[in-house]
Structure 1
Amino acid sequence: MDRTPDWIAVDWGTSNVRAWAMTAAGEVLAEATSDKGMGKLSREEFEPALLDLIGGWGPGPHRVVACGMVGARQGWIEAPYARVPGPPLPQGLTMAPTTAPGLSFGIVPGLCQMDPADVMRGEETKVAGFLALHPGWDGTLLLPGTHPKWISVSAGEVVGFRTSLTGELFAALSGHTVLRHSVTTHGWDDAAFEAGVAEGLARPEALMNRLFGLRAESLLKGLQPPEARARLSGLLIGADLAGARAWWLGARVALLGAGDLMDTWRAALRSQGVQPEEADATQATLAGLTEAWRRSQ
């Protein structure tokens, strides 16, 4: 890289960290990634991990704006939650203690909801970036992932949100329960997935029984692993859709993410007559961090 960045954007999650060298105009000069996520570091290890990551980006000074689990209670420093309803980017950053000359590290606060209780860290920055890229947008944002989030947005504010364990449950059930014997493939069956979505949506109260039924059908009826895997995903997503019905039925919905999960949730929503808009999660994160940096000037 030929020049020192004007500032550095960082998305620091539980498992990984991504950093971008940025100009004041929002241009990306360079990008770096590491597997030194929050879950692998003690508090005193965050600054060395950051300096290792951005070491080739000039001597500094370096002004960093970050989002994600780096601001969790177990992170570099806890960035207190801001309550909703309210803007996705509250005023002010939480500054982490640093020792390197010329290094400042500001963290975007997460958001919390008191009733029903819910929290987010990192997603608020994606929401802010999405709104910066789509001014005046109102509706429901769906962020697929390990913990999918439905976020209601109106007049530039987060009105409310709900988080589920859908993705984590899929990983746990397919890897650590009796269902692992039936779901022994990365194969997929689209028809089985849609059938699972319809079943989970129509009868969410029967989910526990339907899940065990996948094992029974594999033993008694020859249910094949690609069908079992797809139906398992469909059942869980269908039950999630049932619980979030008021958030997507008749609403404007945008999917904000990347990768295969976008395909899965898009198919589930389309099976219910919803044609979601779509946006890239990385672009939204960068736009949100850029907005936070500009506000902190």
Structure 2
Amino acid sequence: MNSVASDPALIGVDWGTSSLRAFLIGASGEVIDGVTSPEGIMQVSGQSFEAILDRLIGPWVAQTNLPILASGMITSRNGWIETPYAEMPLGACGLAGALVPHEIANGALVHFVTGASIEHKGGPDVMRGEETQIIGASAQGLKDGMFVMPGTHSKWVQVAEGQIVDFSTYMTGEIFAALKEHTILGTLMEADGFNEEAFEMGARAGLDGRTNLLNNLFHVRTLPLMGKIPKVATADYMSGLLIGTEVAAATQDAEDIGPITVVGRNDLSDRYETALGMAGFNSRRAPDDIVAQGHFLIARAAGLLG
């Protein structure tokens, strides 16, 4: 929250798969107030999306007549309102022109921010939510280079002059969870605190192995089996191996990458910054409130702020 803030101008909602964040945003783009909930789109059970939204932001709506912008997986096929994908290049104006309005029971309009798509040689790629964060980062002067966005499905987004021009998705987080929970690799893993040495060992193997991931993954089993690493370090070794492999693949055309900005929660960002550093790349960390900044810039470009 901001102790010195302008009048409220906008309500922004970042609604993802596993959580929801809502922001009361001031006329200068600052966050005045905020609320979070674990009610992501996959956790909604027996309730409507509208009922959840009204419970969380109803007091703001009742006191003000503000525009509402919603972004993230809430606009997916499994969400509330499915929106079409916008094509590259894409900036605040393009997203503003593609907003999908929806009137809710209290008469307020929710403007849904669409996702983005691109066609690569191997097939199409899509994202929802990250585009709003990228637009918000431009308000912090982060308008060029590569944005690394760790998560269940990590995104590497190329940005030029505040426009998204290319991106690729890596299923690193989901693969880690699936291997840990549903394969023989997980049977040797024991919970403990973060083991940096094991993570770096795995990251080094991933960076060096490049296309040898399937063989390297078997070492997650054999290294603790042969006493090369302790069982409590196995998960961190595998994490490093997967992240290192991702970094190696995503940076293979290093001369075109530009400055690297990491966007995400601190624990994951720390790991990616470590792997990037091991690969010889410097990186910077984006501030926490860039999604609210993105809502503000898109709303302003759409003429919703008066």
Instruction: Please say whether Structure 1 and Structure 2 have the same fold, judged by a TM-score greater than 0.5.
Output: yes
> What stretches of structure 1 move > 3 A for 4+ residues in a row?
3-6, 40-44, 246-251
Instruction: State the one-letter code of the partner of 2:263.
Output: L
Which of 245, 259, 275 pairs up with 1:268?
Answer: 275
Q: Which SS does the other structure have where 1:246 is aligned?
A: coil
Residue 43 of structure 1 deviates from its aligned partner by 11
2:75 is matched with 71
1:25 alignment counterpart? 28
The CA distance in 1 between the partners of 2:45 and 2:233, in whole Å, is: 42
**Secondary structure of 2:69 counterpart:** strand
Alignment of structure 1 residues 31-42 onto 2, 5 Å:
31-41=34-44
More contact order relative to length (CA 8 Å, sep ≥ 6):
2
Structure 1 position 205, deviation (Å): 2.9
CA distance in 1, matches of 2:88, 2:192: 39
Task: Give the aligned partner of residue 237 of structure 1.
Answer: 243
Q: 1:114 to 1:88 in 2, by over 3 A?
A: farther
Partner letter of residue 25 of structure 2?
M
Query: C-alpha distance in 1, partners of 2:295/2:46?
Result: 23
Which consecutive unaligned segments of at least 5 residues does structure 2 have? Answer: none
Q: 1:205 aligns with which of 211, 218, 234?
A: 211
Gaps of 5+ in 1: none
Query: Cα deviation per residue 1:9-31 (whole Å; 9 max; x = unaligned)?
Result: 11011111111122323233321
The 2-side partners of 1:189 and 1:173 are apart by 19
How far apart are 1:142 and its partner, in Å?
Answer: 0.7
- Structure 1 counterpart of 2:87, which letter? R
Aligned to 2:252: 246
1:124 & 1:61 partners in 2: Cα distance? 26
For the Cα contact (< 8 Å) 2:92–2:298, is it kept in 1? Answer: no
Partner Cα distance (1:251, 1:62) in 2: 38
1:122 alignment partner, one of 125, 129, 134: 129
**Match for residue 112 of structure 1?**
117
User: SS of 1:79's equivalent?
Assistant: coil
Distance 2:160 2:70 in 1: 25
SS in 2 for 1:133: coil
Contact 2:10 2:25 in 1 (8 A): yes
Counterpart position of 1:279 = 286
TM superposition shift of 1:105: 0.1
Q: Using the alignment, how far apart are the partners of 2:272 and 2:88 within structure 1?
A: 26
CA–CA distance in structure 2, aligned partners of residues 167 and 122 of structure 1: 17
SS at match of 2:166: strand
Deviates more, 1:46-55 or 1:180-189: 180-189
Which amino acid is 1:71 matched to?
T
Percent identity between the aligned chains?
Answer: 36
User: How many residues are paired up?
Assistant: 293
Paired residues of 1:5 and 1:57 also in contact (CA < 8 A):
no
2:136 matched to 1:132? no
For the aligned residues, what is the CA RMSD? 2.3
* Secondary structure of 1:273 counterpart: coil
The CA deviation string for residues 186-221 of structure 1, in whole angstroms up to 9 with x for no partner, is 323222222211211222333222222222232232
Q: Matched residue of 1:210: which SS?
A: helix
